[in-house]
Amino acid sequence: MLSSREYYDALAQNYDQELKGRLSYIEAVNESVIQWIAARRATTLVDVGCGNAQRLQDILSKTGVMCTGIDESPNMVERARGLGIDAYVMDIADVQVGKLPRATFDLVIALWNVLGHIPGEERRRRALLNMRSLLSSGGVVLLDVNNRYNAAQYGWWRVINNLGRDFLFGEKSGNFVLRRTVAGRMIATTCRVLCLREMLFLCREAGLRPVEVRFINYDTGLPASNQWSGQLLVVAESVA
């Protein structure tokens, strides 16, 4: 089983195809980021887990916001820099903010289940604390995560099973194996598929207050009505 860094180092060469496979969803989340840039009149943004920065480049082209990317995968950061993005190899759960060119940002984004690739509740809480520390006054953190109660995507049987496992096993539940084939080789890593209750708890523990929760259909990118029918998008601000 690979670490998240090793997994995305291996996946970096094929990451464009990964993005194309969920293009409608990704574009919907990008549009939410663009809306919040406008709503908060943001001029600076840091993308935590920026990957190859292809979607960050799209956001930049539509807003002109000053973008910085960080990712734990050196191969992803290399590709991000190849697109002209100011990107750094960092683990957000351990990052020293002094290493970044700016102390604070108007928006901190962590998209496509980046939070779920941070192992352990304590490390996820620390990651959110670090994201909060990067916020400028009036800034927001935007978190897009996979939702283990999304019956529209995963089916009711799996969701019922997830609910039962949550009741019986607590923190040990919610961890799944993600697999891909790259250059004829199977690669796998463990990731966490979160839920709304867990996200609200983590935000509270990190001193973040949700100001918006959206559910988005994973196939179409259209708004979904509740936690049983979409992935999760949580926008939070620092508690004063």
Q: What is d(CA 230, CA 147) in angstroms, rounded to the nearest whole number?
A: 7
**Confidence at residue 158, expressed as pLDDT on a 0 to 100 scale:** 94
Would you list the domain boundaries of the chain?
Answer: 12-159+194-238
Given a contact cutoff of 8 angstroms between Cβ atoms, the answer to whether 3 and 91 are in contact is no
* Residue 34 scores a pLDDT above 90: yes
In this predicted model, what pLDDT tens digit does every residue of 104-144 receive, in sequence order?
999 999 999 999 999 999 999 999 999 999 999 999 999 99
As beta bridge partners, residue 141 has 108, 236
- Average of per-residue pLDDT values in the chain: 94
- The C-alpha atoms of residue 184 and residue 191 are separated, in whole angstroms, by 22
Residue given tokens 């988005």 in the structure block: 216
pLDDT band at 97 (very low <50, low <70, confident <90, very high): low
pLDDT at residue 180, rounded to an integer: 93
Helix H or strand E encompassing 161: helix 156-169
Rounded to 5 degrees, φ, ψ at 182 are -125, 120
Is residue 30 predicted with pLDDT exceeding 80? yes
Dist. CA 204–CA 128, nearest whole Å: 10
pLDDT of 17 > 70? The answer is yes
State the pLDDT at residue 240: 72
Q: Which fold has domain 12-159+194-238?
A: Rossmann fold (3.40.50)
CB 217 within 8 A of CB 45: no
Q: Is the pLDDT of residue 44 over 70?
A: yes
76: tokens are 């992803």
Enter the tokens of residue 146: 């996979």
Q: Given this model, what pLDDT does residue 169 score? A: 83
| Nearby residues of 84 by Cβ (< 8 Å), 6 or more positions away | 57
> Hey, what are 28's tokens?
């919907």
Percent of the chain with pLDDT over 90: 90
| Segment 162-219, tens digit of pLDDT | 999 998 987 667 899 999 999 899 999 999 999 999 999 999 999 999 999 999 999 9
The pTM assigned to this predicted structure is 0.96
Q: What is the pLDDT of residue 98?
A: 61
